[in-house]
Structure 1
């Protein structure tokens, strides 16, 4: 879990009891944006891994799996030479 996930859960819990103020709403939107970016990166890498597997490109699949692991650990992913 990344910090923005924890903060998003905290803000969601607060919102169950009262309306979020303007600063909290802004913060929630930032958390949601980061979460969406993370989800799209994850989906892209999973699709790349599947495509690499289906085409028998083991080198690409290993690179993609390394990027998936990097995303899961750091929350960020670097792209070397994009395909």
Structure 2
């Protein structure tokens, strides 16, 4: 889990009990935008990995899996 996901969860919990401050709301929106970008990039890499697998391009698939691992560890 990335720190941004922890912050997003924290802000979500706060939203359940009170209104977020302006700074928290800005933080929340930044976290949501980052999360959307992160999910999109990860999905793209996974789709390309599937394509590599379907075309038996082992070298490309290994490269993509390395990128997926690296992105997941950020």
Q: TM-score, normalised by structure 1?
A: 0.86
Structure 1 runs of 4+ with >2 Å offset: none
Question: Could you list the runs of 5+ residues in structure 2 that have no partner in the other structure?
Answer: none
SS at match of 2:36: helix
Distance in 2 (CA, whole Å) between partners of 1:69 and 1:2 is 13
**What is the CA distance between 1:43 and its match in structure 2?**
0.3
How many equivalent pairs are there? Answer: 74
Task: Give the helix-richer structure, 1 or 2.
Answer: 2
TM-score scaled to structure 2, two decimals?
Answer: 0.96
How far residue 36 of structure 1 moved from its aligned partner, in angstroms, is 0.6
| CA RMSD after TM alignment | 0.6
Q: Partner of 1:43 in structure 2?
A: 43
Where 2:20 maps in the other structure, the secondary structure is coil
Q: Which runs of 5+ in 1 are unaligned?
A: 75-83
